[in-house]
Structure formats: structure tokens, C-alpha cells
Amino acid sequence: MTVDVTVVGGGISGFACARAVQDAGRSVRVIDRGRRPGGRLSSRTIDGRAVDLGASYFVVGDDARFARVVGDWEARGIARPWTDTFSAIDVDGGQTRKTGPVRWAAPAGSRALVLDLADGIDVESGRDVERVEAYRVDGEDAGEVVLAMPEPQARRLMAGIPVAPQEWEPVIAVVLRWDARRWPVDLHGAFVNGHPDVAFIADDGDRRGDGAPVLVVHTTGEAAQRWIDDPDAVIAPVAAATRRLLGIDAEPVAAHAHRWTFARPARTTGEPFFRSPGLSLCGDAWGDSAAVRTAWASGDALGRALAAS
């Protein structure tokens, strides 16, 4: 039996869409190539501990629907307020403290947010979709088809997809673990200005709340592009730069690199989603700013629109 909606892509946008469809009483399934849902909120177990490799945090913003979801996550211990204060570090290591909106994190890793949205949804994991068209996935009837993924990936599945090409920036996330914490307890996170390789540093033990001596460093887009075919090669220069920037006097005892070819859109469309008969797109490029809340809102809005049609 054909479902009403088939979502291809198991990140937060895809499951927000699926959840909205199912909550409205329509049938939906999600197809994802990963072994577990998560998308760019994926956490990977490294040395026996889940580490966030994708989005560093999320901000609630002024979306009342998303605020209710986050409030429920907080009540059940799935998400928690992390910090409203980050550092800005220049290339010489000088730091300035800056206060902004409250950043949120997930104690069990950001994948937990997606897994919670996926609860009770029909999911087919580990499947590589080869071809989509309106109302069809790999030649089979699929109801309304939603591509919840970056536009360049969507275009690989459908030649002539009816949206304008989008430019996306790569990032390599480098996990650095020490034998003990060797940086200030109030580091939280730091934007690095003017560095050729390092863009952001997150204290993952502080973010997760377990105090683990782990930093997750995101490269600049330019550095990721240079090392996109050999992400492990970026570990040494990023580790050295991180030590200089934070004044750490020891080498990390373990390191891991993860490549995100399509980490973030260079610009967003300003529209909440793309919709045409039988084929729609959603994600963090479909909104006013690239963010976790944008991805959720895009999927949720599209799911509600599909369910109402």
C-alpha cells in the first residue's frame, strides 16, 4: 500500500516533516541511507563516548512551535540550555568574551533530538535511493516525495530538479581528546577570527555536561576544501593551531576527523520550503538563516502543508 508521503533523508528536517504528516493523521515513511537517523546532527561514538560532529548547538529563536518542542525536550532531559557566552579568539590567541542568545545542546548527543522525532515513524535505514521523480522513488509509487537534504545531493537523485542550484560550504570536524582538561572551565565555545584553518572550537565535555576532556574543532570552509579528499590530513595542523590558540601544553592523546561535504548553505532562499506536485524539498537552506531551528521549521511547515492538501 502506497503511503501518503515518502521522505528521503533522515535528518532533523526530514523527521520534522514526517512527524507533522503523521500527527495530522496521514501515512508517512522515511528512507535514509545512514544506519541510524541523524543527518548533520549525527553523533559518533569515539573511545566509548558519543561526540557531536555536526551542528555545534542550536538556538530556540522566536518560533513558538519549535519553542514548545524544545520545552518538551528539556522536560524529558533530551536537551538542555548550554551557555549564552562564547569567546572570540584572534589569530594571536587574544580572547574577548561575548554574550548572546542561549545556546542549547543535548546531553546524549545531538542525534538524540532526531531520534526523538523519529520515535513511532516508519523508517527504512541503510538504503541508498538511486532515483526520484514526482510521486515515485526508485520507480515505485511513493505518494508525495520529500527530499530533505542539501540541494546538490537532491540533484543527484533527479536530473532537472525544478529549483535553482545552491552553493554549499564544506567543513571538517576534528575531535581532539586529551588525558585531562587543559583549557579554562569557562571556555564553552569559541569563534576563531582570521585563522586560515580553524573557525570554531567547542568544549564537548562542557556542552554535553559530562566534563570529558574533548574539544571538537570545525575548520574553515577553505581548509575543508583543501583537505576534502583526505580529511585525516587536517588533524595535525588543526591540533597544532588549537593548542596555540588555547595555550595547551600537551598533544592530544586521540584525534578523529569527519568530513561534511555539504555542511552549510552559503546563503538561504528566504522561502520556508519548495513544493511542487509530487516532489518537495525542505531543510536549513529553505529559510531566513541556516540553523537547526530553520531545518526543523522548514520540515514542520512542509509536513503540515502536505497533510492539509
Residue 74 lies in a domain: no
User: Is residue 147 pLDDT above 70, yes or no?
Assistant: yes
Pick the last residue of a domain from 249, 265, 281. Answer: 265
Task: Find the domain containing 235 and state its range.
Answer: 56-64+79-107+168-265
Domain identity same for 38 and 151: yes
Mean pLDDT, rounded, for 232-236: 97
Mean pLDDT, rounded, for 218-239: 97
What is the pLDDT, as a whole number, of residue 80? 97
Domain identity same for 254 and 281: no
How does DSSP assign 101-155, residue by residue? EEEEE-TT-THHHHHHHHTTSEEEES-----EETTEETTEE-SEEEEES-HHHHH
Pick the last residue of a domain from 233, 249, 265. Answer: 265
Mean pLDDT, rounded, for 184-198: 95
CATH at 244 = 3.90.660.10
Which phi and psi angles does 35 have, rounded to 5°? -75, -30
Per-residue pLDDT tens digits for 120-140: 999 999 999 999 999 999 999
Domain identity same for 226 and 126: no
Query: In what order do the strands lie in the sheet containing 136-137?
Result: 132-133, 136-137, 140-141
Cβ(209)–Cβ(107) below 8 Å: yes
Domain identity same for 181 and 284: no
What is the pLDDT, as a whole number, of residue 1? 60
What is the pLDDT, as a whole number, of residue 35? 87
Per-residue pLDDT tens digits for 4-33: 999 999 999 999 999 999 999 999 999 999
Q: What are the percentages of helix, strand and coil residues in the chain, rounded to 5?
A: 30, 30, 40
pLDDT band at 43 (very low <50, low <70, confident <90, very high): confident
Domain identity same for 196 and 221: yes
Domain identity same for 144 and 158: yes
Residue 242 lies in a domain: yes
Domains held by the chain: number: 2
- Which residues make Cβ contacts (< 8 Å) with residue 251, sequence separation at least 6? 239, 243
Domain identity same for 146 and 101: no
Domain identity same for 243 and 309: no
Cβ(56)–Cβ(171) below 8 Å: no
Domain identity same for 308 and 177: no
Domain identity same for 129 and 246: no
pLDDT band at 141 (very low <50, low <70, confident <90, very high): very high
Residue 197 lies in a domain: yes
Residue 18 lies in a domain: yes
pLDDT band at 47 (very low <50, low <70, confident <90, very high): confident
What is the pLDDT, as a whole number, of residue 202? 98
Domain identity same for 183 and 235: yes
What is the pLDDT, as a whole number, of residue 118? 97
Global pTM reads 0.95
CATH at 135 = 3.50.50.60
Residue 190 lies in a domain: yes
Residue 71 lies in a domain: no
Mean pLDDT, rounded, for 78-82: 98
Cα–Cα distance between 254 and 175 in angstroms, integer? 8
What is the pLDDT, as a whole number, of residue 277? 95
What is the pLDDT, as a whole number, of residue 262? 96
Residue 69 lies in a domain: no
Residue 247 lies in a domain: yes
Domain identity same for 138 and 184: no
Query: Mean pLDDT, the chain, as a whole number?
Result: 95
